[in-house]
Structure 1
Amino acid sequence: MPQTVFAPWDDPAEKPLIQFKGVTKRFGDFTAIDNIDLDIYAREFFALLGPSGCGKTTLMRMLAGFETPTEGKILLSGQDIGPVPPNQRAVNMMFQSYALFPHLTIWDNIAFGLRREGRDKAAIEARVEEMLKLTRLAKFAKRKPHQISGGQRQRVALARSLAKAPKLLLLDEPLGALDRKLREETQFELMDIQEKTGTTFVIVTHDQEEAMTVASRVAVMDEGKLMQVSTPDAIYEAPSSVYVADFIGDVNIIEGKAHQTGTKLQIDWAEGQPALSATTTKNFDLGQTCYMAIRPEKIAISADRPSGANVLQGEILDIAYLGNISTYHVKLPTGHVIKAQQANTRRISRREFTWEDKVWISWTDTAAVVLAQ
């Protein structure tokens, strides 16, 4: 039986769980959020991604109820949540600092919110045990936060946030304090827990790898605006602008002038250099400025001249060896520096190429994305 793809955003019959409708937030003269429309669906793991100061945390704080929109509405399950105080929303927030109570055991930390709601003892016990099992913390139940590791504290904060079964869980840079390896492990744990509980997660992060790993969809933000909202693969392979292409992953951007015939595009980009070619479904005017975006892993590097569409010669300026891949910075006669990547699939005693070697770089006419801005 074919597996159904989780894509409620493509289903016209599906109603969003969260709707931002013309939401603007100003602090004095400063516009932090600028007229945003955004739908987030139930059971999504949604990422708000962007540099510091882009407005992603403000967006999250408005969902939590710590800020109110200057203009526009935020709906949760069709209800305007503007007038609803934070403690009465079906929303919980997990803070970057975890904010655990140091004097309480792990068990009591998780039970805290349930006790405040006045739930009966048996219900609290059952729910806390369920949360301990879900986050694999049962054997640490009697310990205090200072007696467990950073990764375990992170899971306690998650268990406490999920204990009240919110419709929506907000995660503010939740893995920022963890080292790289633990962060990667925890990302998969988060995804696993999100899938098991079916809770909608909205994560704020400036770490593009994290957003691309955990999220069903990513909203890339800049200066209070949404630059692109799509699935991680679409954002990586089909960015809507130079900003998005440049923000997500490594990319080479070559500026030039367009000459289009149907889906074939020739780009004049440097005096005395052959035109570059690409295929595109977009329409460009004759001589219009355009930008060719090519990911380094889509560029081949060779000692001999290859045949094909886009073939350029240059000299190796720099090499970054990252274990699984090597990135070569190739300087062209025009002064452009192009990054090309090669997977290190075999153990090698010496590199194929070294500094100052003359090499050829090439890519197919379907490898690049051509952007208007």
Structure 2
Amino acid sequence: MTQAVFAPWDDPSQKPIIRFNRVTKRFGEFTAIDDLTLDIFEQEFFALLGPSGCGKTTMMRMLAGFETPTDGTIELAGQDIAPVPPNKRAVNMMFQSYALFPHLSVYENIAFGLRRGDMPKHDTDDRVAEMLKLTRLEKFARRKPHQISGGQRQRVALARSLAKAPKLLLLDEPLGALDAKLRQATQFELMDIQEKTGTTFVIVTHDQEEAMTVASRVAVMDEGRVIQVATPERIYEAPNSVYVADFIGDVNIIEGTAKASGEGRFDVVWDADREPFTAASELPLSDGQTCHLAIRPEKVTISAERPADAVNAVEGKVLDIAYLGNLSTYHVELPGGQIIKAQTANTRRVSRRGFTWEDPVWISWTATAAVLLEQ
């Protein structure tokens, strides 16, 4: 039996748990969020991704109740949350610093919010035990925060945030303090915990890899606006703009002018002296319109001869080689000075590498490998 794909955003009958409706937030003259409309669904792991100052933390602070919108409304489960104070919202926030109480044990840290909510002692004990098990911290219950590792402290903060079973958990750069390897392991733990609890998670991050790993959908932001909202796969394979293509992963961008060459196909004139590139696209581009081709380096083939069946092929020379262990990235300079990156998997030892610096090479790609962009 095939498992149903989780995609409530594609189902018109599904109601979102969070709805930003034309939300604007100004601080004096500065507009942090600009007329933003966005839906987030129950049980989503939703990522707000963008550079510093793009407005993602402001969005999170408005959800938590630390800021109020200047215009527009934010609804949680159908209710306008503007008049609801932070401590009365079914929302919890996990801060980057974890904000644990240093003098309390792991157990007491997790129990803290439950006791303040007047939960009976036996229920509190049961709930804390459940949270310790969920975050695999049973052995550390009696220790103080300074007696455990950074990754364990991160899990204590998560257990404490989830103890009161919020409808929504906000995570502000939650893995920023962890080293690369631990961060990777913790990303999968977060996904696992989110799936087990069914809580809606909204994570703020500037780390593309993190957003692409954990999220069901990603909102790429810039200057207070959401540029594209889609699944990680669609953001990577079908970006809607040069900004998104460039922000996520590595990409080659070639500027040119479009000329229709058949149903859903365009020639892209990029150099007056060279043959145009061919791209498949459903965009309604007019002849002579400026456009951009976005091609991921792993979709570019590098070879010594021109491939006989290549739709798009151009000769250049190897300018640079970046060796990344499992991959090598070749920087190939085209006759007009444009540099294109081509990536190959290192299935053989480096000494057997096919090309070296200054070698003449051909690079090629298929008509569907490149994404044609208007903006």
Please, what TM-score do these two structures have when normalized by structure 1?
Answer: 0.99
User: In structure 1, which of residues 343, 346, 360 is the aligned counterpart of residue 345 of structure 2?
Assistant: 343
Distance 2:214 2:137 in 1: 22
Distance 1:265 1:348 in 2: 38
Distance 2:327 2:99 in 1: 39
Distance 1:126 1:38 in 2: 37
Alpha-carbon distance, 1:349 to partner: 3.1
Q: How does 1:278-357 map to 2 (within 5 A)?
A: 278-307=279-308, 308-357=310-359
Distance 1:114 1:43 in 2: 23
- Alignment of 1:76 onto 2:72: no
- Provide Cα deviations, 1:183-209, integer angstroms capped at 9, x if missing partner: 000000000000000000000000000
Distance 1:316 1:149 in 2: 46
Which residue does 1:271 correspond to in 2?
A: 272
Distance 1:141 1:134 in 2: 13
- Provide Cα deviations, 1:147-192, integer angstroms capped at 9, x if missing partner: 1110000000000000000000000000000011100000000000
SS in 1 for 2:351: coil
- Provide Cα deviations, 1:86-144, integer angstroms capped at 9, x if missing partner: 00000000000000011100000000100111111000000000000000000000110
Q: Does 348-357 or 251-260 show the bigger shift?
A: 348-357
Alpha-carbon distance, 1:345 to partner: 2.1
Alpha-carbon distance, 1:288 to partner: 0.5
- Provide Cα deviations, 1:273-330, integer angstroms capped at 9, x if missing partner: 1111011111210100010000000000011221211111111111111111111110
List gaps (5 residues or longer) in structure 1.
Answer: none
List gaps (5 residues or longer) in structure 2.
Answer: none
Which residue does 2:149 correspond to in 1?
A: 149
Q: How does 1:1-373 map to 2 (within 5 A)?
A: 1-260=1-260, 261-307=262-308, 308-373=310-375
| AA in 2 matched with 1:228 | Q
Distance 1:96 1:348 in 2: 41
| AA in 2 matched with 1:200 | T
Aligned length: 373
| AA in 1 matched with 2:91 | V
SS in 2 for 1:184: helix
- Provide Cα deviations, 1:24-51, integer angstroms capped at 9, x if missing partner: 0000000000000000000000000000
Distance 1:25 1:283 in 2: 34
Identity percentage of aligned residues: 73
Distance 1:264 1:120 in 2: 67
SS in 1 for 2:3: coil
| AA in 2 matched with 1:286 | D
Distance 1:148 1:350 in 2: 46
Distance 1:213 1:47 in 2: 10
SS in 2 for 1:354: coil
Alignment root-mean-square deviation, CA: 0.7
Distance 1:145 1:151 in 2: 11
Q: Does 191-200 or 304-313 show the bigger shift?
A: 304-313
Alpha-carbon distance, 1:356 to partner: 1.0
Distance 2:124 2:265 in 1: 64
- Provide Cα deviations, 1:37-84, integer angstroms capped at 9, x if missing partner: 000000000000000000000000000000000000000000000000
Alpha-carbon distance, 1:346 to partner: 3.0
Distance 1:69 1:186 in 2: 33
| AA in 2 matched with 1:29 | E
| AA in 1 matched with 2:215 | A
Alpha-carbon distance, 1:348 to partner: 4.3
| AA in 2 matched with 1:59 | M
| AA in 1 matched with 2:46 | F
| AA in 2 matched with 1:350 | R
Alpha-carbon distance, 1:353 to partner: 1.2
Distance 2:351 2:362 in 1: 23
SS in 2 for 1:174: coil
